[in-house]
């Protein structure tokens, strides 16, 4: 991995599963060279993973995604740091990033954040919420639970589930977590603070 590439950006610390994309890309290159971009493979993989998870809980739901996005020939980590949100961002910062730069609506912001119903985070992304004290924006019991998962003085960066109640389900429990102050990131909590975002959290 090159030291200036997107993969090496600090905000991409949690990215994993590259081997899946690489494998699909290899097989496509073997049969039709230079036709399907990694960007498209990523979108298809996200669609398939989502459908598999939905099938397990809600029966068969089919949806389409768009294709035709090309890969860049270079990538720069500086662009990642300036265009991805941070877990400690407040609502104003999230809106600035999504609404102005990416043409995404307030509703999209709340809906997309629902992806935090699944997956894991490194402890380093949330330690400021539990040390030295448990944040007011966090359910106290949940805060103490997080301390057991993320001890303060350890030489490794552990991981914790984003959705403590149903970590492997694609469901709406994430939004219940947000309301219960048991969502993992400050950015998740911050959607309670907007008169324009709160109705979508409730919905």
Ligand X SMILES: *[C@@H]1O[C@H](CO)[C@@H](O)[C@H](O)[C@H]1NC(C)=O
The reply, when asked if residue 6 is annotated as ligand binding, is: yes
The residue among 104 and 134 lying less far from ligand X, judged by its C-beta, is 134
Site string for ligand HEM, 44-83 (x = CB under 6 A): ----------------------------------------
* Rounded CA separation 98/95 (Å): 5
187 binds ligand HEM (CB under 6 A): yes
Sequential DSSP letters for 46-59: HHHHHHHHHHHHH-
Q: Note whether 111 binds ligand HEM by CB under 6 A.
A: no
Nearest approach in angstroms of CB 97 to ligand HEM is: 8
Does residue 187 contact residue 89 with C-beta atoms inside 8 Å? yes
Does position 182 interact with ligand X (CB under 6 A)? The reply is: yes
CA-based nearest residue to 57, from 167, 170, 176: 170
In the complex with ligand HEM, the residue whose CB is nearer, 122 or 165, is: 122
Alpha helices in 32-96 (DSSP H): 38-58, 77-83, 91-95
> What angle is formed at CA 5 by the lines to CA 2 and CA 41, rounded to 5 degrees?
110
Kindly tell me which of 18 and 144 has the beta carbon lying closer to ligand HEM. 18
**Contacts by 57-60 with C-beta closer than 8 Å and gap 24+?**
57/169, 57/170, 57/171
Q: List residues near ligand X by CB under 6 A.
A: 139, 141-142, 176, 180, 182
Q: List residues near ligand HEM by CB under 6 A.
A: 13-14, 16, 85-87, 89, 94, 112-113, 115-116, 118-122, 125, 162, 185, 187
- Give the annotated binding-site residues for heme b: 116
- Give the annotated binding-site residues for substrate: 85
């Amino acid at each position: 991995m090159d030291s200036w590439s997107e993969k090496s950006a600090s905000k991409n610390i949690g990215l994993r599963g590259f081997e899946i994309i690489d494998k699909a890309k290899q097989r496509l290159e073997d049969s039709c060279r230079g036709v399907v971009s990694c960007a498209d493979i990523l979108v298809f993989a996200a669609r398939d993973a989502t459908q598999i998870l939905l099938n397990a809980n809600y029966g068969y739901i089919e949806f389409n995604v768009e294709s035709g996005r090309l890969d860049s020939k270079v990538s720069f980590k500086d662009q990642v740091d300036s265009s991805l949100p941070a877990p400690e961002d407040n609502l104003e910062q999230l809106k600035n990033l999504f609404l102005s730069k990416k043409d995404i609506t307030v509703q999209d912001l709340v809906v997309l954040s629902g992806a935090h119903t699944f997956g894991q985070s490194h402890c380093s992304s949330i330690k400021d919420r539990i040390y030295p004290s448990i944040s007011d924006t966090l359910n106290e019991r949940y805060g103490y639970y997080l301390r057991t998962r993320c001890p303060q003085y350890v030489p490794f960066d552990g991981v914790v589930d984003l959705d403590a109640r149903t970590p492997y389900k694609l469901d709406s429990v994430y939004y219940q977590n947000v309301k219960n102050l048991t969502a993992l990131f400050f950015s998740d909590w911050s959607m309670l603070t907007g008169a324009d975002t709160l109705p979508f959290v409730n919905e």
